[in-house]
Structure 1
């Protein structure tokens, strides 16, 4: 098992495009955190938005010191 859980999500916008967001959760010992990231970019398809969210979530978990904001 990895130490992170990445949960990607998409939603349709008012103009018919799609936005992406993802959360990164980590639990270790008595400490845990959850960060939610939202993209300002819109995509022409739900699949493109989901691929972006999954990729960005994976990149966040690979960073040696994830941002605290």
Structure 2
């Protein structure tokens, strides 16, 4: 079963590992970039779970949380122009002439 999610520029891949005696560990790979600029962060979690499904759910939630998204917020947002309080409408060229 492929559980990989693409969220914006990130690829979130939750993983589980059987520990024995019916216990499971969870981890998640969070990848961004392409080619030689690829960055992959792997997070391993200390809680143990009674099922692979519970471990997978936890890893997915933690991965989405790490990139600042929630499962309900996976749809791409519509960009809205927001003016920054420090921006001015006046454009100056650099270097300024005195």
TM-score, shorter chain, exceeding 0.5: yes
Name the TM-score, length of structure 1 as normaliser.
Answer: 0.79
What's the Cα RMSD here? 2.1
Q: Mind listing any 5+ residue stretches in structure 1 that lack a counterpart?
A: 64-69
Q: Which has the higher strand share?
A: 1
- Relative contact order (alpha carbons < 8 A, sep ≥ 6): 1 or 2 greater? 1
Name the TM-score, length of structure 2 as normaliser.
Answer: 0.57
Give the match for residue 17 of structure 1.
Answer: 23
Q: Whose Rg is larger?
A: 2
* SS of equivalent residue, structure 2 residue 55: helix
Residue-pair matches, total:
63
Moved beyond 2 Å, runs of 4+: none
CA distance in 2, matches of 1:10, 1:34: 17
Q: Mind listing any 5+ residue stretches in structure 2 that lack a counterpart?
A: 1-6, 70-98
